[in-house]
Amino acid sequence: MQLVMPDTGLLIWMMITFLIVLILLKKFAWKPILTMIKEREDSIDSALKSAERAKEEMRSLQSDNEKILAQARHERDQMMKEARDMKDNIVGEAKGKAKEEADKILASAREAIQNEKMAAITELKNQVALLSVDIAEKILKRELSDENKQRDLIGDLLKDTKLN
């Protein structure tokens, strides 16, 4: 029975001591310990969060980089294309101009040739005419030495000539 009977003296000691312990530990142990644990947890939390944020930033930076790279590549391609176009244009234009010039030269050459040819032909014609006249003169001189033959000729000429 004594075993389950609370003892007043011990109860007084226990209550006083335990309450003092509770107050002292609360003030000098539990409060700092719990605050520090909480602070550390918060700092770990925020560190993790900021790391996550940094990762996110890195990822966005990377995608930005890729975007910039793609853009640069695209721009380069465009520039190349433009350059090619420009080259083609220039070459084409140059070709056209050259052809035109060549044509012009050719045309003028042809014209000159034509002119020369015409001049030569005219000259030839004049020479031939002169020669023919000379030949004809000489032939006539010989033929017309005989009277009969003069009459025949005049007759032939008159036959051909139609009076109109």
Partner 1 sequence: MRINSILARIVLFVGAFLVPALGFARYEDEKADSAKSAAEPVKTEKKAEGFNPGEMIIEHISDNHQWHIYGKLAIPLPCIVKTDKGFECFSSGNFRNHETHELQPYEGKNYTYALKEGKIVVWDKVADAENETATKTLLDVSITKNVVTLFIVVGLMFLIFFNVAKTYKKRVGQTTKGMQSVFEPFIMFVRDDIAKTSIGKNYERYMPYLLTVFFFIWISNMLGLVPFFPGGANFTGNITITLALALLTFVITLISAKKNYWRHIFAMPGVPIGVLVILTPIEIFGMFLKPMVLMIRLFANITAGHIIALSFYALIFIFAKGGESMGAGLGVSVASVAFCVFMMFLELLVAFIQAYVFTLLSAIYFGSAVEEHHHEEHSDSPAAVAAH
Residue 113 within binding range of partner 1, rule CB under 8 A = no
Half-sphere exposure of 118 (CA within 13 A, CB side): 6
From the CB of 31, what's the least distance to partner 1, in Å?
7
Residue with Cβ nearer partner 1 (46 or 115): 46
From the CB of 19, what's the least distance to partner 1, in Å?
8
From the CB of 56, what's the least distance to partner 1, in Å?
25
Residue with Cβ nearer partner 1 (6 or 158): 6
Instruction: Give the dihedral sign, CA 76/79/83/85.
Output: positive
CB 36 within 8 A of CB 42: no
Q: Which of residues 2-61 bind partner 1 (CB under 8 A)?
A: 2-15, 17-18, 21-22, 24-26, 28-34, 36-37, 39-40, 43
From the CB of 72, what's the least distance to partner 1, in Å?
44
CA 163: distance to chain centroid? 83
Residue with Cβ nearer partner 1 (11 or 119): 11
Contacts of 63 (CB under 8 A, 6+ apart): none
Residue with Cβ nearer partner 1 (15 or 58): 15
From the CB of 44, what's the least distance to partner 1, in Å?
10
Indicate the Cα dihedral angle 125, 156, 136, 145, nearest 10°. Answer: -170
**From residue 19, how far is each of 9, 14, 34, 39, 158 by CA, in Å?**
16, 8, 20, 28, 173
- By CB under 8 A, name the binding residues for partner 1: 2-15, 17-18, 21-22, 24-26, 28-34, 36-37, 39-40, 43
